[in-house]
Amino acid sequence: MTAADTKAAGPPPVPVPRGPEVTGPSSPAKDAKPRARRQRKKGELLPYLLILPAILAIAAVYVYPLIKTVIMSFQDMGRAALWGNGETPWVGFEQFTNILGDPEFWQVTGRTVVFMTICVVLTMGIGLLIALMMLRLSTWVRLVLTVALIAAWSMPLMVAASVFRWLADSDYGLINTLLADLTGNEDWLGHNWFLDPWQGFGIITLLVVWGAVPFVVITMYAALTQVPKELEEAASLDGASAFGVYRFVTWPVIKPVFTMVATLSVIWDFNVFGQIWLLRGNKPEPEYETLGLYSFSKAFESTSFSQGSAIALITVLMLSGVAVYYLRQLIKTGEVE
Tell me the C-alpha distance between 132 and 124, whole Å.
12
Element (H, E) at 308: helix 305-336
Q: Dihedral of the CA atoms 188, 189, 194, 200 (nearest 10)?
A: 50
Q: Residues 283, 296: contact at Cβ < 8 Å?
A: no
- Residue 159 has, within 13 A of its CA and on its CB side, a CA count of 7
Question: CA of 46: how far to CAs of 33, 34, 54, 55, 56, in Å?
Answer: 20, 18, 14, 14, 16
- The verdict on residue 77 lying in a domain is no
- Is 154 part of any domain? yes
78 close to 305: Cβ distance less than 8 angstroms: yes
Does residue 275 belong to any structural domain of this protein? yes
User: Which pLDDT score is estimated for 120?
Assistant: 96
The answer to whether residue 289 sits within a structural domain is yes
pLDDT reported for residue 49: 87
CA dist., res. 276 & res. 293, Å (int):
9
What letter would DSSP give residue 45? Answer: H
HSE on the CB side for 209, CA within 13 Å? 20
Q: How far apart are CA 71 and CA 74, in angstroms?
A: 6
Taking a C-beta distance cutoff of 8 angstroms, is the pair 254, 227 a contact?
yes
187 within some domain = yes
Number of domains in the chain: 1
Residue 234 lies in a domain: yes
Summarize pLDDT for 259-286 with one digit per residue, the tens. Answer: 989 999 999 999 899 999 999 988 889 9
Helix 305-336 to helix 64-73 angle (10° resolution) is 140
Q: What is the DSSP string of 78-100?
A: -HHHHTTSSPPPB-TTHHHHHHH
Q: Where are the beta strands (DSSP E) in the chain?
A: none
Residue type, 40: R
Q: What are phi and psi of 149, to 5 degrees?
A: -65, -45
- What CATH number has the domain bearing residue 130? 1.10.3720.10
Q: Other C-beta atoms within 10 Å of 156: how many?
A: 8
Q: What is the H or E stretch that residue 55 is in?
A: helix 28-58
**pLDDT reported for residue 104:** 93
Q: Tell me, yes or no, whether 95 lies in a domain.
A: no
**pLDDT tens series, the chain, 337 aa:** 444 444 444 445 545 445 444 444 555 666 666 666 666 666 778 888 888 998 888 888 888 888 888 998 898 887 777 776 667 788 889 989 999 999 999 999 999 999 999 999 999 999 999 999 999 999 999 999 999 999 988 899 999 999 999 999 888 889 999 999 888 888 888 899 999 999 999 999 999 999 999 999 999 999 999 998 888 888 888 888 888 898 899 999 999 899 989 999 999 999 899 999 999 988 889 999 999 999 998 888 877 888 888 999 999 888 888 888 887 877 776 655 5
Average pLDDT of the residues of the chain = 84
What distance in Å separates the CA atoms of residue 308 and residue 290, rounded to the nearest whole number? 13
Domain interval for residue 244: 108-335
User: How many other CB atoms are found less than 10 A from the CB of residue 70?
Assistant: 14
Looking at residue 215, its pLDDT comes to 94
pTM of the model: 0.79
User: Is 302 inside any structural domain?
Assistant: yes
Please state, in angstroms and rounded to a whole number, the distance separating the CA atoms of residues 67 and 292: 18
At 303 the pLDDT is 79
**230-234 long-range contacts, Cβ below 8 Å, gap at least 24?**
none
CA distance 39 to 49: 15
